Structure 1
Amino acid sequence: MTVDHVWRQIEQLLGSATDHVVLVAPFIKKEVFQATLDTVPAGVQKITCITRWSVAEVAAGVSDPEIAELAQRDGRATVLLCHNLHAKLYVADDHCLVGSANLTGKATGRVSAANVELLVEADVAHPEVQRVLAIFEGTTVPGTVELAAQIREQANLMQDDEDSPRVLVPGQEEQPTHWLPETRNPERLYRVYNGRHHQIGSDVLAGVLRDLAHLDIGPGLDEQAFGTAVLARLRAMPELHALTAAGRMNLGDAQADLVATGEFTGEQAQRAVETIAAWLHYFDDVHLVPVGPWEIRQGKELS
């Protein structure tokens, strides 16, 4: 068996296509994507590529958003994004391959240091294949050339920031999962997420990008959907358990809890709690009540 056995499987499948091709892979490198497009016969006029673009993953080098440019140049291909994608699936008309291999050099065996991967032949009519393909209908966002450029720009900024969170790849130590908001002005989050950050100073911008990396929200959302996603992430924070459970949270208690972890000074804990309060005020229906140590309470304040 050759080192490029997986690539030969993909090449044979796609070369047999006569009507349409679907490529489903979280990680796609541009060199392999171009080779894949070249493999599809000229008579096939519809190529759908479903992948995911994360700023942190692009910064880590595991995926190239520039495939959008290659798709546009080819003229037959459309790139769609599904942020929670993990499946790997390659379809040519009524036949497909399912398994573990992304469209990268190591996964397909197109480089010498190849991964151990598996692709198995299946029929597109298989219920599980149909279930996965159905999920993509109405849940993906377009992977445009403009969005690709935005993702790449932010990935480059993240690479320049030594404090930015890193994607876990084999050989790296596990990163801490604990996160508290850093950005003092939460209204900046969507601006940066949407690529409008050129009036923001470099230090502040780095903090916003770190928060966005921890939030891990898929690209291409409108502002309302983005706010909903941020709020869901906030409500999952253990520091906000009292607020979500009882509808109120004492800021003094929250500050004391952070100090008790040994990870924060009193000043750092106060700043962290104030930042959390600012995020909640911006993204949620809460208000501050000055009773003893201030409280955050669910619901809009009645006048």
Structure 2
Amino acid sequence: MDETCCAYEHIGDSLLYLAQKTDKEMVLVAPFIKQNIIERIFAVLKPNISFTCVTRWRLDEICAGVSDINVYDIIKARGGRLLLMQNLHAKYYRGDNFVATGSGNLTAHALGWCNYPNLELMVFLPSEMGFIRFEKHILDQSIFVTDEIFKEFNDLLKNFQQENKYILNNELRMISQADEQDDANRIWLPKSRYPDALYPVYNGNLGELSSHALKSAIRDLDYFNLPKGLAENEFRNHMTFMLLQEPLIQFIDELIIKEYRFGQMVAYIEGFIHDPYCDVKSLWQILIRWLLYFFPQKYILKTYNYSEILIKSNADNKIILL
């Protein structure tokens, strides 16, 4: 990497390239750091390179799964240093004399290594005196993580998880961590067949759901990334607002001004999502459930000659918040 550039796509691949080209020292600074991202960077980093990582640990963020404390063990095993800075918000990555900085954390969603990535911006440019002073300030204001600090924090984390049942614990949230593979499909597709189970799972009440149903619910919740601690009516209102912004929901809403039979809707949706691996019949069944559950005033389902037909309850209907 020998020139200034700006990236909003394939940010993770650009960061890996920076790591590959590093010969002496790498410094990573980000509030949110996931274990699999550090492992991916270490896989391309040359041996015997000085490695320093600065992050922040907050109990609610760790419980929500946005960051992993287990990066300490991985960094320590490689001979690197992990530091903590509680008011950290900057994202700063340096490999020798080149710096990457922008909006992206060290997570799959931020780096574009998932099905539904965030839109992030990262600038790659040569390191200058301003960056050196900034880096020194961060290191001076941070604390080193030791085995004792790690154990103490881990104990606090376990107690916090037990006392705050509404927060999905880290193990469950990790199920929803995005697949580490390229996926050309950027359209959200619902996974859960039971939209009425989303709030109980969000609230930590797992009930009698099967493993598959639980994973599906968690994946959907992970995508929408709702605030924690919402009451049920607040949860449904948040979901209503967010679903209205989804291209697939808007496509269906515009389409069913007319009445289409089940097979016709499947064909239209298949043409919209362009996903050869998707079971579109099952997808349309799931979408019907979601639309009836989150928009009960807007849609109705009727059956004609054994075919399910979703229609609008009336053309002038408005969304009613609970």
TM-score (structure 2 length as normaliser): 0.48
Which letter does structure 2 place at the counterpart of 1:71?
I
Alignment of 1:46-125 (within 5 A): 46-75=50-79, 77-125=80-128
Task: Report the residue type matching 2:60 in the other structure.
Answer: A
Match of 1:40 in 2: 45
CA contact (8 A) 1:82 1:140 kept: yes
Pair 1:144–1:110, CA change in 2 (3 A): farther
SS of 2:163's partner is coil
Provide closer, same or farther for how the CA distance between residues 62 and 149 of structure 1 changes in structure 2, counting only shifts above 3 A: farther
1:17 aligned to 2, 18, 22, which one?
Answer: 22
Find the residue that maps to 1:90 and give its secondary structure. Answer: strand
Task: Report SS of the residue matched to 2:140.
Answer: coil
Q: What letter corresponds to residue 9 of structure 1 in structure 2? A: S
Question: Could you say which residue in structure 2 is the equivalent of 1:136?
Answer: 138
Unaligned residue ranges in structure 2 (runs of 5+): 1-6, 169-223, 231-322
User: Which residue number corresponds to residue 249 of structure 1?
Assistant: none
Q: How does 1:244-263 map to 2 (within 5 A)?
A: none
CA–CA separation in structure 2 for the residues paired with 1:135 and 1:115:
29
RMSD: 2.9
Q: 1:159 to 1:102 in 2, by over 3 A?
A: same
Counterpart of 1:281 in structure 2 is: none
- Cα distance in 1 for partners of 2:97, 2:11 equals 19
Does 1:147 find its partner at 2:152? no
Structure 1 81/173 Cα, relative in aligned 2: closer, same or farther at 3 Å? Answer: closer
CA distance in 1, matches of 2:71, 2:228: 30
Aligned residue identity for 2:15:
I
Query: For the residues of structure 1 that align with 2:136 and 2:8, how far apart are their CA atoms?
Result: 33
Give the Cα–Cα distance (whole angstroms) in 2 for the partners of residues 66 and 117 of structure 1: 25
Structure 1 SS opposite 2:124 = strand
Are the aligned partners of 2:56 and 2:85 in contact in 1 as well (CA < 8 Å)? yes
Residue deviations 1:83-138 (CA, integer Å, cap 9, x gap): 111010110110010001111111112222211111111221152x2342121232
Counterpart amino acid of 1:42?
Answer: P
Aligned to 1:285: none
Q: Distance in 2 between matches of 1:170 and 1:164?
A: 14
In structure 1, the residue matched to 2:163 is: 161
User: Does 2:32 correspond to 1:30?
Assistant: no
Q: Give the 5 Å matches for 1:128-277.
A: 129-162=131-164, 170-172=225-227
Gaps of 5+ in 1: 176-303
User: Mean Cα displacement is larger for which, 85-94 or 109-118?
Assistant: 109-118
Aligned length in residues: 171
SS in 2 for 1:160: helix
**Structure 1 residue 165, shift from structure 2 partner:** 8.9
The letter of the residue matching 1:83 is Q
- Which letter maps to 1:70? I
Taking the aligned partners of 2:48 and 2:151, their CA distance within structure 1 comes to: 30
Per the alignment, in what secondary structure is the counterpart of residue 153 of structure 1? helix
1:3 deviation in Å? 9.7
The answer to whether the Cα contact below 8 Å between 2:22 and 2:96 also exists between their aligned partners in 1 is yes
Change (3 A) 1:150 1:19: same
Whether the aligned pair in 2 keeps the contact of 1:52 and 1:85 (CA below 8 Å) is: yes
Secondary structure at 1:41 match in 2: coil
| Percent of aligned positions that are identical | 27
In the alignment, residue 38 of structure 1 is paired with which amino acid?
A
Q: CA deviation at 1:43?
A: 4.4
Q: Distance in 2 between matches of 1:146 and 1:55?
A: 17
Partner SS state of residue 22, structure 1 = strand
8 Å contact from structure 1 (residues 66, 148) kept in 2: no
